[in-house]
Chain A
Amino acid sequence: MGSKDRVWEVFRQEAEGDPMIHGGSVKAPDEELATHYAREFYGRRQESERLWIVPRDAITELDDPDLLKPPFDRSFKRPGGFLIKHKLEAARERAGSPQVDEVGE
């Protein structure tokens, strides 16, 4: 074996209806043995309802920072990107309500 081993990513479901979550990986030369090892590592303690065993090379990876981490400020695309602290303070002043210190952004 050894040199012919492939890496298989194992996803597991903890309860019927739950999402499949990544458990980890195993090394095996083919699907049959990968299934056995996935069971040993991620399913023999009754911790899994179901396993998905996927050859790593069947996974298309995207990790290009140009695509995933654009260099310009995109904070306006997130709700937290809007700084409302001062607007909130002003609004409270107008309404005459007391200052609340812990109000954040």
Chain B
Amino acid sequence: MSDLDRETREALAELLLSMADDEFVLGFWDSEWTGIAPILEEDVAMSSVSQDEIGHAKALYELLAGLTGEDADRIAFGRPADGYRHAALMNHARTDWAFSIARRFLYEHADAVRLESLAASAYQPLAELAVKMRREETYHLLHFDLWLRRLAEGGDDSHARLGAAIEQLWSDAQAVFAPLTGEACLVAARILPDSLEALRSRWLERVGERLQAASLPVPSSTGRPQADGRTRHTDEFAWLHGEFTMVSGSEADATW
């Protein structure tokens, strides 16, 4: 598989960048909870989960860098804000705890569905990485399923905030499965064993079951995700981008 043709290589690069940016941007958003999470233990847990995501992003950027001959750090920190390809779900600031939990819940299940499929990818390095990432994501799923249930059962206020956050994020969450330019090529080469639309229906089923079990409203279907699900950005993201590129941008090409 090392001799990928140009079209397949570009499609694969697009997939890797989208996944890496999802993990990277979410990792930065949720690291904002460090020091201010509801309890000390959860502060450590949320910070560590965020670090895990940055770690996954690093592995994905490195895989991408190997494919394109670029530098992983440069890909991660060296792009202007509009060069990022995270899903619109990651365009929002952390907001309150219920909002952050709602986003994590929606994302973790989307990520799980995506990784399950990629564990069987014909592109061996990606299949191996997906298997490794899934082991760490097991805990993420447990943790955020648990928090969804707790906030749902935690009283009227937390139930209402959680429901409102799910509703607000629902449409942007679909964007994790927004079509990629080279998707057909990836599916044909079995690099992406299932289409993103097939993955999205699997995700809708899992997320729907859990929302129902937690007596939360399941938002009505929004149909297929919009084509700009990974290219439209917000001012909130522009602010975060300024934060996470501040140090690397202060001294370009510095050796740390």
Contacts and interface: CB of A to CB of B under 8 A. Distances in A.
Given A32-B146, A36-B142, A36-B143, A27 B39 contact: yes
Contacts of A40: 41, 44-45, 48
A1 B143 CA distance: 16
Contact of B41 (A27, A32, A44): A27
A21 to B, nearest CB: 21
Given A32-B146, A33-B146, A44-B48, A39 B40 contact: no
Interface string B48-60: 1000000000000
Nearest to A39: B139
B38 interface: yes
Interface in A1-30: 1-2, 5, 26-28
Contacts of A27: 39-41
Contacts, number: 29
A44 B143 CA distance: 14
Nearest to B147: A33
B146 A41 contact: no
A26 B146 contact: no
A41 B41 CA distance: 8
Contacts of B143: 36
A37 B142 contact: no
Contact of A1 (B39, B48, B142): B39
A54 B42 CA distance: 19
A3 B112 CA distance: 34
A36 B141 CA distance: 12
Interface of A: 1-2, 5, 26-28, 32-33, 36-37, 39-41, 44
Interface of B: 38-42, 44-45, 48, 139, 142-143, 146
